[in-house]
Amino acid sequence: MFDLLTTSFKSVIGKIRYQDDGKALSNAVGELKKSFLKYDVHHKTTKELLEKIELKTKQSGIGQDNFLKALRESLSDILTVKGNQGFVYSATSPLTTILMTGLQGSGKTTTTGKLANYLKQRNKKVLIAAADLQRLAAVEQLKQIGAQIEVEVFFVENETNPIKVVELAKQKAIDGLYDVLLVDTAGRLAIDEELMLQLKNIKEAITPNEIFYVADSLTGHDATKTAITFQEKIGIDGVILTKFDGDTKGGVAISLSHQTKVPLRFVGVGEKMENLEVFIPDRIVSRLMGAGDIEGLAEKTSLLIDNKKAKEVTKKIKKGEFNFNDFIEQLEMIKKLGSMKSIIGMIPGMSGMASQIKDMDFDNSVELKRIKALISSMTPKERENPDLLNISRKKRLVKGSGLSEVQVNKILKQFHNASKMAKKMSSKGGMKDMQRMMAQMNSSQAQIPR
Ligand SMILES: Nc1nc2c(ncn2[C@@H]2O[C@H](COP(=O)(O)OP(=O)(O)O)[C@@H](O)[C@H]2O)c(=O)[nH]1
Ligand SMILES: [Mg+2]
């Protein structure tokens, strides 16, 4: 989604190498400025971002890790504005009403369908109101979309007043116990007083929970400008950027919320009904910082990991039954996948963890040989049940494996850490806990895999 920006971040980060190199920092900031502007980040946002990054880096000491942390934090600051994220249901009434607004051709009707589809997949009862009576084919277009995604579309034959349509639609949605009513409206320019007044009247007639402004990302900075005007004239609660799959440079998504003070809620990434992505600032920051590798990771693992085996192991881990046989199998798998460090670096937000486990040294085959030597000196019972290993059994293992006592203890400790970590990660929300823990332990670690 942000390939160009991410690539340029990586090149900028490569420019900072040494501690306390003020010149390197100003070069890097200069380079960042160029790419922000080149990829359509608003110039005011760019200025603020750079100031934040420079200040934060200086405060924590110039260096690659601190620069990265400053970049990540500053992006997160800029992307996060007051307001809702994703789709939010009304807290006070069973029906959530959303008014879709925007210029003609921005993608309102398509996005209305996408949202309906998104909600339907979440088992919501959705009604779409066809309130674009300006264009002849508008109602027909919506009917087709509705049929395709199997969501009901409300329309009134031969009605020319959209206020009437939305009032009837709202009544139907209430009476029919719908969860969400999405109101698709005609495209209009903010300078068209008459149509803007009509929109205000629609707003008053149905008191929507939220008003979304649908903006075409291909219009670049105009997407931001028009959103600001709609915010001033009507009041909007969220922006949806469409056509992000096209030739957009991506930067609009970075500065839009910062400039409009309205959260960017969704991004349209194609013409199909499923081409809608929730815009959650922190997730976006991870992607910006190079989390694109997650796809590579999925590819790698799906190609090499035996799914059935993986499920078995997960079950064991959850039950706390992870043993030495599993451990050795896992190690072999990791070896097949490549270095542990590079794999962890592919998981968004987890790259800081790579250095945490360097003492486990999976890359080093000597280490792996030792682990194997140790495990092969164990009795089958010991392999199945790690808790059996008391002092006298450990002494036997030292003799049998040809390893030193220190080496044996080190490996056993690694095993216990690995199984603890695995258990934690396999629990519900465990990945999040893990990330949080790692972030705290290791807050200055680089987030971009290098
Ligand atoms: N590639 C792409 N095309 C889109 C996206 N959203 C809408 N469109 C296309 O943009 C055109 C206008 O969309 P429409 O929903 O009719 O706009 P409206 O006039 O605002 O209702 C249609 O051809 C859509 O297929 C998107 O996210 N990606
Ligand atoms: Mg339309």
How far, in Å, is the centroid of ligand 1 from the Cα of 192? 22
Answer yes or no: are the C-beta atoms of 269 and 277 closer than 8 Å.
yes
Closest CA to 212 of 62, 78, 117, 99: 99
Measured by CA distance, the residue closest to atom 25 of ligand 1 is 271
For a ligand 1 pocket test, name from 112, 148, 242 the mutation site with the most ligand atoms within 8 angstroms of its C-beta. Answer: 242
The closest-lying atom of ligand 1 relative to the alpha carbon of residue 104 is 19
Percent with pLDDT over 90 in the chain: 50
- Which pLDDT score, from 0 to 100, does residue 202 have? 96
H-state helical runs in 208-359? 221-233, 251-260, 281-288, 293-304, 307-319, 324-337, 340-346
Task: State the Cα–Cα distance between residues 49 and 257, nearest whole angstrom.
Answer: 13
- Which pLDDT score, from 0 to 100, does residue 248 have? 73
**pLDDT tens-digit series, residues 157-214:** 999 999 999 999 999 999 999 999 999 999 988 888 889 999 999 999 999 999 999 9
The CATH class, in words, for 96-288 is alpha beta
- Given the structure tokens 């460090």, which residue do they identify? 341
**pLDDT tens-digit series, residues 316-371:** 777 777 788 877 777 666 665 544 544 554 554 444 444 444 445 555 567 778 88
Residue 158, C-beta contacts closer than 8 angstroms, at least 6 positions apart: none
Name the residues around ion ligand 2, CB cutoff 5 A: 108-109
- Which pLDDT score, from 0 to 100, does residue 186 have? 92
Q: Does 245 sit in the ligand 1 pocket, CB within 6 Å?
A: yes
How far, in Å, is the centroid of ligand 1 from the Cα of 282? 27
Residue 137 has pLDDT above 70, yes or no: yes
Q: Does 107 sit in the ligand 1 pocket, CB within 6 Å?
A: yes
Give the helix/strand (H/E) hosting 110: helix 108-121
Give the helix/strand (H/E) hosting 181: strand 180-185
Would you list the domain boundaries of the chain? 3-79, 96-288, 293-441
Longest dimension (CA), the chain: 92
Range 3-79 has CATH code 3.30.70.580: no
**pLDDT tens-digit series, residues 206-235:** 999 999 999 999 998 999 999 999 999 999
For residue 355, which amino acid is it?
S
Fold of the 293-441 domain:
434 Repressor (Amino-terminal Domain) (1.10.260)
- Which pLDDT score, from 0 to 100, does residue 148 have? 95
Task: State the Cα–Cα distance between residues 372 and 362, nearest whole angstrom.
Answer: 12
**pLDDT tens-digit series, residues 41-51:** 999 999 999 99
The β-bridge partners of 96 are 180
**pLDDT tens-digit series, residues 51-101:** 999 999 999 888 777 888 899 899 999 999 999 999 999 999 999 999 999
How far, in Å, is the centroid of ligand 2 from the Cα of 104? 7
Q: Does 102 sit in the ligand 1 pocket, CB within 6 Å?
A: yes
